Structure 1
């Protein structure tokens, strides 16, 4: 399947809508453009349980594929404690709350969002 070129902001919208539809909790979107070569945005969110994390990831992967972004890299679907989905422009972390609290990954990237005044 050919990968469709989608603007990173449009991809972000697709991801956030999918996460909302899946009832993901405490979703945070972090603009990492110019801060990292990893991508343009990082999204961190939580599911209530292993099953919920897996369902969120499955739904997101299906929604991305439907939009022509089916060649994502995925890690962690076996255990569903922390699932990482890399679209190329976006990096999505889906955690169980305990695992998210332990790693505190969004705190590492949210340096100073108040400077965007």
Structure 2
């Protein structure tokens, strides 16, 4: 269950990064709505990270934070490509892939510990 909380928290981290990006490109009421979205997403994301690191099946803080951050980073890169027309280059995809492999590796070694 804690891993599910952590993954969902990482997705909300992507949400708060997207919200900030959208707020940068808007003004007035729309900007304030994106900033409200940021506050909601960051609050939910942090709470889920907190919950994932507690309880009987707690995820160690180092692993939880690294995985949470990586999920947010992966989601933000993908969202940047899809929503903000950021470039898709070989090296961006290469390092994104190595990040995904690292997250899977952290989950695997943390589950068996």
TM-score (norm 2): 0.33
The structure richer in strand per residue is 1
TM-score (norm 1): 0.32
Structure exhibiting the larger radius of gyration computed from Cα positions:
2
Larger RCO of the pair (alpha carbons < 8 Å, separation 6+): 2
